[in-house]
Amino acid sequence: MNSPTSRNQMLYTLGFLFFLICAFAAFFTGVKVGADKTEAKYEHLNTKVSPEEFSGSYRQQDLVTFYHNVFLPYREFKRNWNTEVEQLIHSTDARENAATLKNLSILADKQYKKVNQDSIFTSSPLLHQSQLNILKSLTLFSQASSKVSAGVSGAETAKTLKSDEFTASAARFGLLAQKNFYDSMLKWGANTNNKIPAQAGELRTLSFIQWKKMPLLLKNVSIADMMLNREIYAGYDPQDVTAKIDDLIYSGTASSLKLTDVQSAVTLLISTGAVQEQDFIKWRDQYYGKETMPQLPFFLE
């Protein structure tokens, strides 16, 4: 008597399992297709210049051209992204929240078009890689803004956006691009001044005694590395953090706070929101008048 019922239950169970298998297969296929499409957008940058063509040259003109054509558009995007997300947190209008997300996606696409040109840094692999990472970052920011649904609570919408997997990856690619650019400045500095190393050593705890002996370009690379590892995606630049640390040291504030190393100083400054854009310019003449640095606008403006 129970045979038909048992057979029906078994068929139902097998059908349900088959449905789950198909659903999972479709999901992972979709993820792979999406990833392949994203990578394809940058393929021309990877294939048009072979590794053998890189000579490792870092001229000031290369850095200046990169700054204006690639880094500045991304820097503007990063500033706007952080500002828009901060405003989103305080919004309670679902339509405004949806409009903000749409604007962020449009902005990412707009800046992508500015940055997405044939690679012109054929002799500078770090600049080439930085451009590639910026393109990846903008693509993922656009996708994140498009996929997140806006609710009445801007705070919840912003939380969802910031915790999204695409957003996290976008920020990491942006921070990696930033480090690529600062590494290239260090290589330029090494060609200009034999007291400047061509590359930074392994990231380690830096005492203030060690820090004070380091040239500005090496300090900036160390901070860019810390920002990457700590995922500090902010509107200010590594040299702003450098200047803030130097002022902590030379003003005696670090000593009064019993700080002894750069990492603990960075933790304090970031957690208290003490670093601001243009902090480097504020202390440039006081601390960096004799430093070797490329003639880039954000060191001069």
Distance CA 145, CA 102 (A): 7
- Write out the two tokens for 250: 């030379």
pLDDT above 60 for 27: no
Distance of CA 26 to the CA centre of its chain: 31
| Residue 33 pLDDT | 43
pLDDT above 90 for 263: yes
Distance CA 152, CA 94 (A): 4
User: What pLDDT, in 10s, does the model give residues 69-86?
Assistant: 999 999 999 999 999 999
- Write out the two tokens for 32: 């792979």
User: What pLDDT, in 10s, does the model give residues 198-229?
Assistant: 999 887 899 999 999 999 999 999 999 999 99
Measuring CA to CA, which residue among 196, 193, 192 is closest to residue 221? 196
User: Which residues, at least 6 apart from 15, have a Cβ–Cβ distance to it below 8 Å?
Assistant: none
pTM reported for the whole predicted model: 0.82
Residue 234 has φ and ψ, to the nearest 5°, of -125, 170
Q: How many other CB atoms sit within 10 Å of the CB of residue 83?
A: 11
Distance CA 30, CA 38 (A): 12
User: What pLDDT, in 10s, does the model give residues 125-153?
Assistant: 999 999 999 999 999 999 999 999 888 89
